[in-house]
Homo-oligomer: A and B are copies of this chain.
Amino acid sequence: MNGKSVAIVGASGAVGQDFLAVIAARELRPKSLRLLASPRSAGRRIVFRGESLPVESLGPESFRGIDVALFSAGASVSREHASRAVAAGAVVVDNSSAFRMDPQVPLVVPEVNPQVIREHRGIIANPNCSTILLVLALWPLHRAAGLKSVVVSTYQAASGAGQQAMLELRDTTAAALRGERIHPRILPQTLAFNLFPQVDVFQPDGYTKEEDKMQFETRKILGLPDLPVDATCVRVPVERCHSESVAVQLDRALSVAAARELFADAPGLELCDDPAQKKYPMPLSMAGRDPVAIGRIREGRVFAPGLTFWLSGDQLRKGAALNAVQIAELL
């Protein structure tokens, strides 16, 4: 991204804010930075590196002169504007679900399949946040011992539903502590001292779209078109960071010790596995951090050979903004 003209679409949202945080943290020096958002947010100013940047309304002319456009404003905005950005000469890194399963669009986690970026035709898709966290752990296992199947249950933070959902969690929790009940406006159910097995909408077979993404995006990223992934996605009353409970079936035996070594060496992962010292991944430890923490690694009791483990990562960071910026860096 150094020396390039960069646009951020959805600059006022939760991921948009993290795009800026990640660009600052990685000391990237774009030639220019254009902040784009819906007309509702246009006119606001966002301070970045001591400079007050205007948030501009997203329109047909927004991408003139832009080299890289980072999109994170939902699938409908991407469907409407990504091709305009490409026509204007930009490469789009899209954080929405709009193009992820398009066979002509690379779906990239840089630590796993950076080579597919070369095949892009203007748009590169950033995977679903829960999927990114998962494949970081699956990839080293697959290379070492062959992956046969995955059963995963998620513990997804409010932040996955955006900044308004994070505020709603705080507001409804404060109300619950006062003995009041506020009805949710953003989330499908109240999240205060509650949780619910619905992330995204339901499909006819009873799985949610989020659960589908975890199967179909994982297959595409790992290049394993038949990999069975049985996912249950659950929203929990946590502000930031998704966690996942994972059981995998492997082709070949892999000891817990060997898996620990693999994970310790794997880019993007941080081994956090010392139960005797009460050390295991937790959302509160990972908020605002780049790596995905992995721990509770143990021999599977159902899958043999297999492993069962637990991971936690800031899905606004590695699950969204960081992964997209990493893709842009590879361009």
Interface residues of A (CB under 8 A from B): 149-151, 153, 155, 169-170, 173-174, 177, 188-190, 193-198, 202, 205-207, 215, 228-232, 234, 236-239, 243, 245, 247, 249, 256, 275-276, 278, 280-284, 295-303, 308, 310
Contacts and interface: CB of A to CB of B under 8 A. Distances in A.
Contact of A308 (B232, B282, B295): B232
Nearest to A150: B302
Given A193-B237, A230-B303, A278-B198, A206 B284 contact: no
B232 A194 contact: no
A234 B281 CA distance: 11
A149 B230 CA distance: 15
A234 to B, nearest CB: 7
A275 B203 CA distance: 9
A243 B278 contact: no
A297 B206 contact: yes
B188 A278 contact: yes
B228 A301 contact: yes
A300 B193 contact: no
A310 B232 contact: yes
19 contacts: A151-B302, A153-B232, A170-B177, A193-B239, A197-B245, A198-B280, A202-B275, A202-B276, A205-B298, A206-B296, A207-B301, A229-B301, A229-B302, A230-B301, A230-B308, A231-B301, A232-B247, A232-B296, A234-B243
A237 B241 CA distance: 14
A231 B247 CA distance: 9
A257 to B, nearest CB: 11
A49 to B, nearest CB: 26
Contacts of A237: 193, 236-238
A82 B116 CA distance: 66
A197 B198 CA distance: 21
Contacts of A236: 155, 195, 236-237
